[in-house]
Structure formats: C-alpha cells, structure tokens
Structure 1
C-alpha cells in the first residue's frame, strides 16, 4: 500500500507561527481544519498533505495577501527546526549547508517534497520538488521556502545572493513581481519549467563557516538521532494522551495517576514531557480544547454536559476557558457550524 503523502509538524509550525506573527488567527483556522494543536513542532506527526493544503488555503483566503508565502518565509524561527538548524549553521561552507538542508528536508516536508541538486557548468542548480497539486498552494509554498532559505543564508553571509531564481508560476500583479524582485535582489525567471535556484559554485564554496568539521559531525549525528528519537517520543506522548482522555470526565487527570499507569515516576513523566516540548498543563488544555471543539461541532449535548465531560465542574469556568482558547463563547462556536 502506498504511504499517504504528508508533511511534518515542523512545516505546520512555520506556517501557523509565521501567520500568527502577521496577526492572522492561525490557531482558529487549525481548529476549523481539524488540526490538533499538539501537532505544532512535532517531527513525528504526519500531517496529511490534503489537510495541510486546506489549512494553507484558509490562511491565504483570510489574509487576502498575494504575498503571504513570502511573508511567512521571512519569519525566521530557528528553534522550530531543532537539530536541522544546528546542521546548517555548523556546515563547513554555504554549499555544505545547502546540501545538508536538502538531505534533512524530510524532517520538515515529510514525503511531500524534496530537493534535487544538479551541476550545470560552473553553477549549482537546486530544484525544489513538491507534491502540492493546487496551483495557489504551490505558489505560496515555493515563495515561502525560497524566502526562508535565502534569508537564512544571508543571516550567515550578508553579501550572499543567488544567480537566479526560477518560479513555475507567473506573478499575479506588477506589485507582486516588484516585491519579489526587491526582496530576493536577483533575476527571477517566471513561468519556468521548474521551481529552483541557481548559485555560482565558486562563490558558494568561498563562503566558509568557522565552526569546523567536528561541529558538523556532531550536528549531523544529532539530526540523525532526532529523526529516530522523535518516532519513539511520539509513541510515548500518544500513550500519555490516551491515559488523559480515559481519565477526563470521570475524575481529574492527575499526573501522578498517569505516571503510575505508565509505570514511571511523576518526575520522569515531567522530564519526558519537557524533552518533547510540552508541560503537563499544556497537554491537559490541548486535549480538553480538542474534545470541546469535537463535542460542540458534532454533538447536540448542552454546554453544561460538555463542560462536565471534559473535566469542568463549573460551566462558567469552562465558558471562560473556551473563550480564552478560541476567542468566542461555546454557543458562538457551535452556531458557526450551523450556518
């Protein structure tokens, strides 16, 4: 059976957090697209490409920004990329950094894309491969990736610039074309047969990083290990979530009870959660909010019963918390599904 095409929680994080920085209601849109907030930054979480595309399209529609992809890509957030950032920053040269980024691209794009590197005379040609079928999504995605990569390279080497960028799409307006040319500061061939970038091989080799080969080896090992560890970590987080869901509605889901069920100490539970980027309360809130969205959109239960089912003894406390999660009341959220 062919594996479903997916991206990881890191790709989702770049778009969700980047959009939030631009003032867009990305978390609300995630909920409408049935995306679990716990997916954010989760390397082991496989987000179906169709779901991710729906999320992107919603963001694009709400933003009304023909350059949203570019603006998302300008939001550099190294912490989102974990050891991948270390690998790129520790590369011996800019060329090595690009090659490492290509090698570990699956940490971000899953099996929904990749990078092919070709030698062309004295240049290096990096061709972006992507599984997105929707033309609007493809355009915003490739502009986002180009902006992210070029800005990261310029962060290390301010004078760096590609020889040429290739976009298969055409600009939707003169304003868009002007903005792209001003940002990338290099020729752009629109309507090309591929998406990619051309770099001068000698220039790339000439941009030498001072971290050294030893740091690169360490960073690469960490990245390789992270790919494997994340699979194990996700399994552990899933086990915790199952226990919490089982406890919610019948009793207060206490960390000591969950730890005992899993055969570990509360301290070990906290340490494992922390290493995965979670706190106990964040996990509880995320699961409660997800259950609340599900019950409000898919059941006819009254608000008080739903509040009790997810562990609130006071319906008013639930209403306050739900408004904090979503920005609207439970009744307003439910009504949005009946329009």
Structure 2
C-alpha cells in the first residue's frame, strides 16, 4: 500500500454517504452545487477523491441540522456493509476482528484523509481498544466525526460477527452533553466516559478473537490487492487553484491560516505560492478575504449560529472584526443578512 498518496482528500464513497445524510436531514442540496468536487459526474466515479474541506462542509451542515442528537452515531444506521466500498470488506472479511480491524486501520486511506484521521489499536490482556483522532476543526464537527468513527467500527464488528457486540467501555475527549440517551442506545452500554484523554472503543477478547462465521481463507489478500490498485489509480478532483482554496479553508478551520502554513501544506515555499497566485491574477490577501466572505455569507444566510461562532469558524478574532468585514462586503450589518428560512430550519 502506498501511504498518504491522497492527503487532503476522502473517498467518494464517504462523500456520497455524507451528502445523502444531509439530504435526509431535509436540507436542500442546492447550496452544495457550487462545490466542484460534488458534481454528479464526480460522485459517480468510484476513483474520485473529494477534498477534506468539502467533506467538512457536509459535516458542518449535519451538526447544524441536528446539533444535540449524536448525529455521528445515528447516521450509521443508513450505512450497510458496502457503503464505504472496499474498506468495508477489509473490515468485515477475515479470521477474526483483530485481523480485520488492524487491516482496516492500515488501509484508512481507502475511506478517509490519511493526513487528518488517525487510528490506533492496542491490546491489554482481555481487552482490545480502538482509538481515533481527527483534525482541529470546529468542536461540534470534531465531536460528530469522532463519534461516527467509533460507531462505524462497532456496526462493522456486529455485521462481521453476526452478534450484538457490546463494548466494555466507550470514551470521548468531548464534554458530556446535556443528555446522551442516543449514544447509550446505540453503543448498548451506559459505560460512556467524557472528558477522557482519548476517543476509544474497548471490546472484549471473546468478541475480537471469535472466528468470523463467513471467513474465507485467502479472500483478504485479494481485497488488499484491490485496495492497493484503487489507491494507486484514485484521482483527486480539484485542480491547483481549487486545492489551494480547499487548503486555505481547512487552515481557517484550524486557525492556522498563515501564508507559511498554507505553503507548507501545499509542499512549496511561500515565495512560490505567491508567484503561483500572481500568475492567476490574484494574491494571498485577496484569496483569504474571498474565502472568508464566501463562508461567512453562507453561514449567515443558512444557519442560526451566533455571530461569535461564525467569527471563530471563519478566522476572525472577535465579533467586532466580523461586523466590520460584513459591512465592508455588503454595506449592511450581519443581522440584516439573516433570512427567516434559516431560523425556521
């Protein structure tokens, strides 16, 4: 397997799943039509790789639609085996769960962004633990992705073993919600700990070592060869300008939107980045202003997020800076741009 050849992208299977989850939430998909890597032709190609910032836009919409519902776990009810392509079969085909989970971790790139997602497995006596971390995005988006990752492993473990596997313990780095009934129902245990050092799912040895009922010796090698071929022939959709914009959007989410940092993410010097932008008739300041404006207007017109939250999401230090920027762009204050339809969602 070639590691990290698809940095900054996720599989088209994951993108299709997230887009469908957004559609099921009742949100119009029209606002996503402007995103070049969500074009229907792109989504029909199993070798397409979708930019991580585009995937984050979809995650953000899901958290805005269902802000207190443990959406990361709930959407997995609509993800039967095969939803995530070859990765699903790597995770459910083999001698036992120890083998399949470790293989799925090694081939994380088949579903997610190898630069943004990290998975680790450990064994401690009779316990087998999976740990997950993602990038420093907006807190509610990070929480949804962390829950989704652990929930996906559990649904696949249950499908592979054909048993109602119940974890010994589930932990999250996030603070406890006002109620976590949905999480208790999904994971099947009340032993869910918050404010923990890691996001983890701990399974019992008797579950992870039990022979899988449909094991077919040798099939996993065929699947691994297919996964290698898929990764080697996959195609990131975005061209250079779009990749730059996607990287800049991600940096704004991470609060690291400096010229040096973005240039480093694009594997070039700051001077080369400035020259490339100049060749396109633009510059760093104009690009960062354009991205902030586009994202701000989108959030103001389609969500009820407080101004403080919007300011943080688009990289402004406080609400006053956001208000000044909106007046500069639109000649009106932020509240004048909010639409009644956003409040009624």
| TM-score, normalised by the number of residues in structure 2 | 0.59
Mapped partners of 1:116, 1:25: distance in 2: 35
Residues 1:92 and 2:112 are matched in the alignment: no
Residues 1:113 and 2:117 are matched in the alignment: yes
Give the structure 1 partner of residue 268 of structure 2.
Answer: none
Mapped partners of 2:231, 2:28: distance in 1: 27
Give the 3-state SS of the residue equivalent to 2:171 in structure 1: strand
Mapped partners of 1:159, 1:15: distance in 2: 25
Mapped partners of 2:215, 2:181: distance in 1: 37
Unaligned runs of 5+ in 2: 1-5, 240-336, 340-345
Q: 2:184 aligns with which of 170, 181, 184?
A: 181
Q: 1:200 aligns with which of 173, 198, 204?
A: 204
Give the structure 2 partner of residue 71 of structure 1.
Answer: 74
| TM-score, normalised by the number of residues in structure 1 | 0.60
Deviations 1:48-83 (A, max 9, x none): 433332332123223455322222222214333222
Deviations 1:296-322 (A, max 9, x none): xxxxxxxxxxxxxxxxxxxxxxxxxxx
Counting matched residue pairs gives 234
Unaligned runs of 5+ in 1: 239-336
Confirm or deny: 8 A CA contact 1:6 1:109 kept in the other structure.
Answer: yes
Give the structure 2 partner of residue 172 of structure 1.
Answer: 177
Give the structure 1 partner of residue 16 of structure 2.
Answer: 13
Give the structure 1 partner of residue 132 of structure 2.
Answer: 128
Confirm or deny: 8 A CA contact 1:168 1:191 kept in the other structure.
Answer: yes
- Cα deviation for residue 5 of structure 1 reads 3.4
- Cα deviation for residue 41 of structure 1 reads 6.6
Closer/same/farther in 2, CA of residues 203 and 225 from structure 1, 3 Å limit: same
| More divergent stretch after superposition (52-61 vs 159-168) | 52-61
Confirm or deny: 8 A CA contact 1:10 1:107 kept in the other structure.
Answer: no
Confirm or deny: 8 A CA contact 2:121 2:131 kept in the other structure.
Answer: yes
Mapped partners of 2:158, 2:188: distance in 1: 12
Q: 1:103 aligns with which of 101, 106, 118?
A: 106
Q: 2:32 aligns with which of 7, 30, 36?
A: 30
Alignment of 1:1-339 (within 5 A): 5-20=8-23, 22-25=24-27, 27-31=29-33, 35-38=37-40, 39-40=42-43, 44-64=47-67, 66-111=69-114, 112-156=116-160, 157-174=162-179, 177-186=180-189, 187-231=191-235
Over the aligned positions, Cα root-mean-square deviation in angstroms equals 3.1
Closer/same/farther in 2, CA of residues 47 and 222 from structure 1, 3 Å limit: closer
Mapped partners of 1:77, 1:42: distance in 2: 20
Mapped partners of 1:79, 1:127: distance in 2: 23
